[in-house]
Structures are given as structure tokens and as C-alpha cells.
A and B are shown apart, each in its own frame.
Chain A
Amino acid sequence: MNMNLEVEVVNKESTTLVLLAGEIDAYTAPELKATLLPLTKNEGKIVEVNLDKVSYMDSTGLGVFISALKSTKENNSEMRLVNLRERVMRLFQITGLDSIITIDSTVRGGN
């Protein structure tokens, strides 16, 4: 049984906050991609993704953030990930993407 992913977008002046809750996998990643990618196409915009309530992410989820990062480079925008749980952070570290994607160094505990 796959959990759902809740995606909430809050627009502020120069930053768009994306609040995620649930699991990011092959079933939920398309929805996240459909929301996140258009946000990264706005030049000069900072997209801050809060993963505090993301309990699980697989390689498909990682793919969404790689696509979003590529989009920021093409559109001169910025993306940063904040409040990652240890398990999710490990995925970025193993793949070496933690040195390419801007990730808030404060890692939340728990799996």
C-alpha cells in the first residue's frame, strides 16, 4: 500500500515554499514533478522545498529533484532543500548529489 504525498505551495515575495508530506516514490513522483518543475521556470525565483514530513523517498523521487535542479540552471532560478530526515539525506549523500544540490545542512532525526 503506497502512501500519498501531500504537496502544498506557498508563494512569498521572492521565495516559493513547497511543503511535502508523505512518501516520494514511483507513484507520487509524477505529481511532485508536475508541481515543482513549473516553479523552477521563474527567473530569479528561489524554490525552497521542505522535506520535514517526507518519511521515504526512492530513486524516482531523487530523479524529480535532479530534473528540478537542471531546470533552475536553465532558467536562472534557485532551489534549496530543507529539513531532510536522515534516511532521505542519506540518499542524496550516497549519490553525491548533496554536493550539487543546495541542501540545508540541518538534518532532522528519525527515519
Chain B
Amino acid sequence: MCGLMDELLESAPCGFLTLSKEGIIQSINRTLLKMLQYNKEQLVGKHIDAILSKSARVFFQLYFTPLIMKKQVVEEMYLSLADKNGEDIPILLNAALDNNKEDPIIVCIMVPMRRRDAYENQLRIAKKVAEDAKSELELVLQSLEDKQEQLLVVNKQTQNELQLAKKIQETSLTKAITTDSIQMETYYKASSELSGDIYGFYQMNKDQYGIILLDVMGHGISSSLITMSLHSLFQRLISRGISASLLMKELDNHLHELFQNSEDVWHYCTAIYLVIDTNKKTIEYVNAGHPPAIFQDLNGEQQALKTTTPPLGTFEGIQFTPNKIYCKNGGRLLLYTDGVSEPLEPISLFSILKECSADSLSETKATIIRSLQGEDKQVQHDDQCFILIDLK
């Protein structure tokens, strides 16, 4: 039995050796000899230092020897052996001091740790890679948060700018005129901050009023820029008392010049311009592709001031010949952009105006707004603008 055990110990899957208290190797199994590439004669009788790496020798003396003498046992001590060629072999050492014999011996079991070390190294590398990736990710996240922060600031600035631009655009709208012979109500609502619609009212002399409503293609910033450009032009021209046909010609020329050779940014606009003469009781108008204005006399009879020419800025050489209607006994006018008429379809503004015949101008305005709000439950697609005028 003892012989079998000895044989099994020789080939056990771990190193086995016995040492004297002084650290002299007394026996060593085949597994450990094979690991160290020595034969038995080369090691038995030698000090343990012969198979320890240089660093392990110091460690062995400083820690192993005092510990085994004091506690008689050492568990899982990590050491490096050195094989015949000086190659390090990491091992875990378990040892016990056997004091029962006349000469006490130290019994050692050594388990090689090369693979575990390799795994640990891989784990360490993987951990390092993960930590580096995490650091990089944190940097990217931080950078993203910074950019987002910057974006919010820029967005806020843009919103502030747009709000300011909106105020400027609304300030440019002329105030409604109220005299003994004429009364007005207006409604102006952009689909976003800025509008592509614009209007203006000007008393040209004692009896004549120039009234214009324009709707530039599209809406938003680009359209609003064009409205402001047209605004400064029509304000100057109408105040000078220019004729309806010449005014439209000038606005048309302005758009052609503005977008000459710039097909990519080309815009057109629809416009209606009225010259109301309260003495002659006439309305002279040019409608350039704009939804028809409605004139309703005191008997409720309606006339559509339909388009007479294509929109402004479309084709060269358009003649803007004015039309004229008579309003001897006064009446009511409604000018609007398609942003008002389209959402109300199939109910037409003609019928709303007729239904409100007996209502005041402000009541009629409120009715139209109520109708729009009823239809406008979803997103407002287009800018909305309308002008109501009572002629007395």
C-alpha cells in the first residue's frame, strides 16, 4: 500500500517535495523534477534556493520560513520557481511542518500557475481595454453633453432672435385706419415665428387709401425676408401716391431683379392692391395671382375681385392693368391669404361674410377666427392673414 502511494505521489499532477527545517531538499517527485528539468540527484541535498527565482528566495526567507515555524502551515503562497534554464515557473505553495519525527520535515505541494497567470493577464488586458473604452466613451459622452449644451444655448439664441425678428415684422405692419369714411380690422398669424404674409394701409390723400396684401411663396424665415424687402418698397411707393399698375410693376421688377440668375432661391408672391377713393366711391385694384378679395354691398350683393395677372416675380413683361368697381352706398371688403381660405373649405368666406352682414366689423372678425380655430385643430400649415374694411 505504501509503495503504491509513493508511486502515485511520484506522478501526482502537482509538485511534491520535502525540506528539512533548514530548507534542504530531502525528497522531490517526478512531476516537479520534470517541471524544473532536473534529475533527482541534481537537487536532493541542495537548498531550496536552487529551485527558487531570485526574488522568491528573499520572499521565502522573509515570509515562508518564519510563518511555517510559527503556524506549522502555509496556504496558497504565491512564488516563482526557476527551472534549469532560469525560466520562471509561477506556483501556488501549500506546506505543512511535520514535528512528529525526530528530524522535523516540511512537506510542500506546488501547483503550477502558468495558465492561470495567462488567464489573469488576459483578464487584466481585457479589463484595461474595457477601462480605456469606458474612459473614451465617457469622454465622448462628455463631449456630446457639451455639444448638446452648446446646441441648447444656440437654439435659445436663435429662438430669441426669431422672437425679436417676429416683433420687428409685426411692428412693420401698419395700424388699421379708422376715419369717418373707412374702418378696418386685421388678423395676422404666422405658421411659425415669421410670416410670408404682409400688408399695408396708407392714406394717400384726403380721399384715397392704398391697401396692399402680399403672400410670398412658402413661409418661415426665407419668405419673411422677402416680405420685408417688398414692404420697404411698397411703403415708399404707395406713400408717393403711385398708380396701382405701376406699383405692381415695381414690385414685380424688384422680385425679378432679386432672383436674377438665382433659380435655387427663387420665390414668387401673390398680391392684391386696392386704391379706395371715398369721394368717387370707387375701388381700383390689381390682383396678381392672389385669392379673390370679396366686396359686399349694403344689400348683401357680392363681387369677387379675382386675379387679373399671374403672381409677381413669375414671368417677365406682365402688364398690370387695373380693374375698377363702384361702391356708391358703401359696403364691406374682405382681403385674405390662402392660409385663411384653404382650411375653411368647403365653407367659403363668401358665405361667412354674407351670414355676418348685420354684424359689426369686430364681430365678423371674431366669427372668421372662430371658424379658423375650429378647422385648425392640427398643425397650422400656412401663414394666415385677413383684412376687413367697412366703407361708409
Contact = CB atoms under 8 A, between A and B. Distances in A.
B217 A62 contact: yes
Interface in A44-95: 58-60, 62-63, 66-67, 70, 87, 90-91, 94-95
Contacts of B220: 26
A98 B315 CA distance: 14
Contacts of A63: 217-218, 266-268
Contacts of B277: none
- Of the candidates A58, A60, A96, the one having the most CB atoms from chain B within 10 angstroms of its own CB is A96
B367 interface: no
**SS class, residues of chain B in contact with chain A:** loop
Contacts of A10: none
29 contacts: A26-B220, A58-B381, A58-B382, A59-B215, A59-B217, A59-B270, A59-B338, A63-B217, A63-B218, A63-B267, A66-B268, A67-B263, A67-B266, A70-B314, A70-B315, A87-B345, A90-B345, A94-B289, A94-B290, A94-B292, A94-B338, A95-B270, A95-B307, A95-B311, A96-B306, A97-B289, A97-B310, A100-B315, A111-B345
A66 B218 CA distance: 14
- Of the candidates A25, A58, A91, A97, the one having the most CB atoms from chain B within 10 angstroms of its own CB is A58
B210 interface: no
Contacts of A60: 217-218
A7 B289 CA distance: 27
Contacts of B270: 59, 95
Interface in B285-299: 289-292
Given A59-B338, A63-B266, A63-B267, A100 B310 contact: yes
Contacts of A62: 217
A47 B217 CA distance: 24
Nearest to B315: A70
B249 to A, nearest CB: 17
Interface of A: 25-26, 58-60, 62-63, 66-67, 70, 87, 90-91, 94-97, 100, 111
Interface residues on B, range: 20 to 34
A59 B266 contact: no
Contacts of B94: none
A87 B307 CA distance: 18
B309 interface: yes
B217 A94 contact: no
Interface string B293-333: 00000000000001111110011000000000000000000
A90 B291 CA distance: 10
B175 to A, nearest CB: 28
A59 B345 CA distance: 17
3 smallest CB-CB distances across A and B, nearest first, come from A95-B289, A96-B307, A59-B217
Given A87-B345, A95-B289, 16 more contacts: A25-B381, A59-B215, A59-B217, A59-B382, A63-B217, A63-B218, A66-B314, A70-B314, A95-B290, A96-B289, A96-B306, A96-B308, A96-B309, A97-B289, A97-B311, A100-B310
